[in-house]
Chain A
Amino acid sequence: MFRYLVRRFLQMIMVFIATTFIVYSLMYLTGGDPIQALAGEKPVTDLQRAQLTVKYGLDQPFLVRYWNYLTDLLHLDFGTTLTGRSIKDILLDAWPVTMQLALIAILVTIIFGVTAGVIAGIRRGSIFDNATLVLTLIVIGIPSVVLAPLSQYLFTIQWKLFPTTASGNPTWYELLLPGIVLGSLSVATAMRLTRASVSENLRADFVRTARSKGMPGRRVIGIHVLRNSLIPIVTFLGVELGSLMAGAIVTESVFNVPGVGFQLARALKTEDTPLVIGIVSVLVIVFLVANLIVDLLYAVLDPRIRYE
């Protein structure tokens, strides 16, 4: 187990360096003009351009800039944005909000997706099964750019059930609707995955054995079927948690939630390279850690899996 963890950590460092390098070089290669982006439509005088170029170190060669960035990062120094704010502060403000949002989304996915999946799996071919299949098909078909503004309009402006946008330090209540919207996108996938997994396990030998032993139905499904069906779902949820944090760009923008997606969208819009790379670096770490946890959970769920 220990050797496995060490190996994984070494892999993670390699992946981290490779991904940040790719992002850094992509931002560099797109050849944007952050100084003009900062000024908007206004022309920038040559003098000011020269001064800002020196100030942000934009005149240094690419590898030097990347190296400086990486060494600063080792000291947990994320640098400052082009408007002079500390990126560490921005991240410390934004991450808790996004985590809250992702937590709501994951709970929505589990409560609605997994529960409905289990019921549909047990009652295959029933009206519930068919109805949820059609419903999930519809939800999968609606992209979040449509779903988020639509639900904002219906639930907050027409019917006034939720606050329209989140405030600076959003409460759980303000994050509920964005969280549901975010989660609903993975509800469909989670439900279908669970349904397939449960219905397959229902026909497995160990279930028949348990039934013929005279075990009550609830116990058969709750312990034997569910535990064995959870492996693909946990994989999905683990990866999903990572992408929920990254993929919240649309939802966070629509509901004005000051989370990571909100910051990333702004950083891209203003070509704030340091901020983009700062956010992506942390995202990479979140993905890697989420994957590691998923892999470790396998061993808990299925005692046959051992790590050496």
Chain B
Amino acid sequence: MKFISKYRKHRFARPLLLLFSLCALGFTFSVATAAPSSNSMAADARSTLIEEGQQIFLKGCSSCHGLNAEGAGVGPSLIGVGAASVDFQVATGRMPMQDMSQQAMRKAPVYDEEEVAALAAYVASLAPGPRAYTNEEIKWERDGNTAEGGELFRNNCAMCHNFAGQGGALTQGKYAPTVMGVEPRHIYEAMITGPQAMPVFSDKTITPAEKLSIIKWIKSAESEPSLGGAPLGRVGPVTEGLLVWTLGLGLLIGIAVWLTAKSR
């Protein structure tokens, strides 16, 4: 370090040092505020998405779920529910709720797919939770097994959703909705998040492959033609009894009246 000790008292030393320091400072600053590279651009878009999601959340959800999704008297905390829950609840129109009834019902979604993604990103940013899926990721047609799915459905799902997936009643006005006409990703997300009255079916209870089989069985039941004639709602013997007492006996008694009518 002879060089430094030799010239440190040089008359140009101070201005040079000042110049060097200013340059260093300027460079650091310019690096810190420079236009982002390709890698940091994704991170930034993500933070914008989260920002956007937060804005939607503040407008549409915070009155029940709290300003920081910490939950309030009416709505539960959303910290840790993950993107899967948001995608299921919002993209099927269940959230935001229309009224404070027992259960949020399925309706036309309020937010479009992009807004749902933003909301999901925001909620997922609060704490880790199950991620959302796309329909393309759920490869039920390739990996599912209908018969096995039927067994699994009858074992795990039919007690609430009915043997043909038509839905059924639960206590106090809650109900299991029909699983007909539901997008595969939403069926999958429902199983992993357990929305509303539904329990969570973790990957240990029902493996991902088995979940695909269940979806395949549901899709097969959905597209199965009504083999015996009018399906009568596929809700079991109640509608059959109704038909017998109205149309069946109605016709028979009507004809008995006709047979015994006096000719005038």
A binds B: no
